[in-house]
């Protein structure tokens, strides 16, 4: 009755570049406006590896990483009314309060209600719910899905159809929603458009799906790892190119093969040199390039301003421009209706104790998504 904490198995990142270790941690019960979620499954996204590498200026340690999860509400704190025990939820690293300047602008999904504390690895009241033997362990992206039990603000949960398999729709918590959304919401690709997608990992392949759903005319996939080409083709890519096969800049190759450049390009890697290539392969006068990839502290993009003067547009997107609470449940319904697949993304599954394998497989270029079953 006076219980204040529960025990939870979690993968803890103790410091940059160190493998995660499986620990039994203490999770404090949810406070006002907070929710305790039992994670059922979680994907491993490249952004988790990015932060673990030490490149993320917002990376704090020790932390429980993970932001691509699916779970079930275990307990709710005071005042929580929009979710109840037993609800199936997808944690949101981009909250949706519905009230802040960003939410009410009608121009962005980047709710800022809890963003400041989230970036410091803390709950909105400025404290952490995770500890081990009294030592604070930080949250990550407001989600920390690499724990059996995690605590989130109520506004960081999308309530979804309980018939959706959490082991699959967890991928809608980041990767698949991001890639599809970048194409459909951020770029608004139209029927017949020519599209170039740089990087054919979980994000790039989801952008391929989005481009196919938008009936793009030509979908050009670019990767230096040709083992990604087969699935890209299956999902709808019409042309697949490896920059290593050419002795001139890949943007020139693409401009030539598309009679002047593409209508839209997407950078799904996090490499600032490729971001330049993605901009410069766009058609003069109207081509738009969308940055999805995340780059480390100190990295900067560059191009000749003339590229923009002559009508190319450079932009970026987070979580595919999707407002999680109001829009993600419908994306889950569209998955259930068979509009797109998720299973083909799941190249590996494993238990939490094997989670470091997921990072190894990603770095070796062998996986699209590993899904960890808690």
How far, rounded to the nearest angstrom, does the alpha carbon of residue 106 sit from its chain's CA centroid? 22
Whether residue 7 has a cis bond before it, omega within 30° of 0: no
- Name the DSSP letter for residue 63: B
Residues in region 84-103 near ligand AHE by CB under 6 A: 94
Which of 294, 328, 352, 362 forms a contact with ligand AHE (CB under 6 A)? 294
Closer residue to ligand AHE (CB): 27 or 64: 64
Question: Which stretch of DSSP H or E encloses residue 90?
Answer: strand 88-91
Residues in region 99-128 near ligand NAD by CB under 6 A: none
369 among known catalytic residues = yes
Read off the tokens for 138: 């930080």
Instruction: Compute the least distance from the CB of residue 320 to ligand NAD, in Å.
Output: 7
Closer residue to ligand AHE (CB): 108 or 225: 108
* Contact between 182 and ligand AHE per CB under 6 A: no
Residues in region 95-154 near ligand AHE by CB under 6 A: 110, 115
Q: Quick check: 329 and 158 in contact, CB under 8 A?
A: yes
Show the site string, 38-77: x = touches Zn ion by CB under 5 A, - = not: -------x-x------------------------------
Distance (Å, whole) CA 23 – CA 300: 37
Mark the segment that binds Zn ion (CB under 5 A) among 157-165, 171-179, 225-233, 270-278.
171-179
174 among known catalytic residues = yes
282 among known catalytic residues = no
Distance (Å, whole) CA 43 – CA 228: 18
Distance (Å, whole) CA 147 – CA 9: 6
Which residue from 198, 280, 279 is spatially nearest to 237, judged by alpha carbons? 198
How far, rounded to the nearest angstrom, does the alpha carbon of residue 213 sit from its chain's CA centroid? 20
- Name the DSSP letter for residue 187: I
Residues in region 350-369 near ligand NAD by CB under 6 A: 362, 365
Q: What is the total count of residues that contact ligand NAD (CB under 6 A)?
A: 33
Which of 223, 263, 280, 327 forms a contact with ligand NAD (CB under 6 A)? 223
Which residue from 178, 160, 179, 180 is spatially nearest to 90, judged by alpha carbons? 160
Distance (Å, whole) CA 262 – CA 264: 5
Residues in region 162-201 near ligand NAD by CB under 6 A: 174-175, 178, 198-201
Q: Quick check: 160 and 56 in contact, CB under 8 A?
A: no
The total of other beta-carbon atoms located within 10 Å of residue 218's CB is 17
Show the site string, 220-239: x = touches ligand AHE by CB under 6 A, - = not: --------------------
* Contact between 95 and ligand NAD per CB under 6 A: no
Mark the segment that binds Zn ion (CB under 5 A) among 172-180, 220-228, 296-304, 324-332.
172-180
Catalytic residue set? 45-47, 67-68, 97, 100, 103, 111, 115, 174, 369
Residues in contact with ligand NAD by the rule CB under 6 A: 45-47, 50, 174-175, 178, 198-204, 222-225, 228, 243, 268-271, 274, 292-294, 317-319, 362, 365
């Amino acid at each position: 009755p006076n219980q204040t904490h529960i025990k939870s198995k979690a993968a803890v990142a103790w410091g940059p570049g160190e493998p995660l270790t499986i620990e039994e941690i203490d999770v404090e019960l949810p406070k006002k406006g907070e929710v305790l979620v039992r994670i059922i499954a979680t994907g491993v996204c490249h952004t988790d590896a990015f932060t673990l590498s030490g490149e993320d200026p917002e990376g704090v340690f020790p932390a429980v990483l993970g932001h691509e999860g699916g779970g079930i509400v275990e307990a709710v704190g005071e005042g929580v009314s929009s979710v109840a025990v037993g609800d199936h939820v997808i944690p949101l690293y981009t909250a949706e309060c519905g009230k802040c300047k960003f939410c009410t602008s009608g121009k962005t999904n980047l709710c800022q209600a809890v963003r400041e504390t989230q970036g410091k690895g803390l709950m909105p009241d400025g404290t952490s719910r995770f500890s081990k033997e009294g030592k604070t362990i930080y949250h990550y992206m407001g989600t920390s899905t690499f724990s059996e039990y995690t605590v989130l603000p109520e506004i960081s949960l999308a309530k979804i159809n309980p018939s959706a398999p959490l082991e699959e729709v967890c991928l809608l918590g980041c990767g698949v929603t991001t890639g599809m959304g970048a194409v459909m919401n951020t770029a608004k690709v139209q029927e017949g458009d020519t599209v170039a997608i740089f990087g054919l990992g979980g994000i790039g392949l989801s952008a391929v799906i989005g481009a196919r759903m938008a009936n793009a005319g030509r979908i050009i996939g670019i990767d230096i790892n040709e083992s990604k080409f087969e699935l890209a083709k299956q999902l709808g890519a019409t042309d697949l190119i490896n920059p290593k096969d050419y002795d001139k800049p890949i943007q020139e190759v693409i401009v030539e093969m598309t009679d002047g450049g593409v209508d839209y390009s997407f950078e799904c890697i996090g490499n600032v040199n490729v971001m330049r290539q993605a901009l410069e392969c766009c058609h003069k006068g109207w081509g738009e390039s969308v940055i999805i990839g995340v780059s480390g502290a100190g990295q900067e993009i560059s191009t000749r301003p003339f590229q923009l003067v002559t009508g190319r547009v450079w932009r970026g997107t987070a979580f595919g421009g999707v407002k999680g609470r109001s829009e993600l449940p419908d994306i889950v319904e569209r998955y259930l209706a068979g509009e797109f697949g998720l299973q083909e993304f799941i190249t590996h599954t494993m238990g939490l104790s094997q989670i470091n394998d997921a990072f190894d497989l990603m770095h070796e270029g062998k996986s699209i998504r590993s899904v960890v079953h808690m």
